[in-house]
Amino acid sequence: MDAMLFWVLATIAVTASLLVIAQRNPMYSVLLLIVSFAALSGLYVLLQAPFVAVIQIIIYAGAIMVLFLFVVMLLNIPTEEPTLERRWATGAGPRRFGAVLSAVLAAELYWAISSIQKTDLPAGVPETTVKDIGVRLFSEYSFAFELTSVLILVAMVGSIIIARKEPPRDHA
């Protein structure tokens, strides 16, 4: 049962991710990415990490992707224009080279991972409870946790300043 669920969810995740980068309309890309994230959330449940599964849905699918959707709708983005003047640094050649490089990356990762021995997941491991994570997060990792609040504050102020309309300049 678990095995079949893994293969089904993995197929959904890979297909949805492929479609994300194949779509010309950014709106569909965002919606497909939510599907991919939901499949990953299912995989986290299979890996006995319910906390990560839940925050994957709430934070990723719920907050970050809604932010993306909001921007896509706000800008009323046209679908990708296939042309525009072609310069050598942005033309088809370098992009094909990039695609080849990512295929090389995939092959390299395949080669590296397939050389790992003894990879059966241990059976009968209890689920990680939210309590375990909470206790460690607020003791061992408390400094990093406090730092993230500074990071969020900086990101918030920064994005407001970057995205605001420029105030009218007086040409004196």
Partner 1 sequence: MPDPTLNSYLMLSAVLFAIGTAGIFLRRNLITILLSIEIMLNAVNLTFVAVDRYLGATDGQIIVFFVMTVAAAEAAVGLALVIALFRHKATLSPDAFTTLKW
Q: Which is nearer to partner 1, 127 or 172 (CB)?
A: 127
Q: How far is CA 143 from the centre of its chain?
A: 25
Tokens read off for 10? 């993995």
Of 12, 35, 51, 54, the one binding partner 1 by CB under 8 A: 51
Q: Which is nearer to partner 1, 117 or 172 (CB)?
A: 117
Rounded CA-CA distance 47/6 in Å is 10
Tokens read off for 58? 């709430």
Tokens read off for 57? 């849905």
Which positions from 64 through 83 interact with partner 1, judged by CB under 8 A?
64, 67-68, 71-72, 74-75, 77, 80-81
Residue carrying structure tokens 């094909």: 96
CB of 135 to partner 1, least distance (A): 9
Of 73, 142, 146, 152, the one binding partner 1 by CB under 8 A: 152
Evaluate the CA torsion angle 54, 59, 64, 70 in order and state its sign: positive
Which positions from 118 through 147 interact with partner 1, judged by CB under 8 A?
119-122, 125, 128, 132-133, 136-137, 141, 144
**String of contacts with partner 1 for each residue 18-47, x by CB under 8 A:** x-xx-x--x--xx--x--xx--x--xx-xx
Q: Which phi and psi angles does 57 have, rounded to 5°?
A: -70, -50
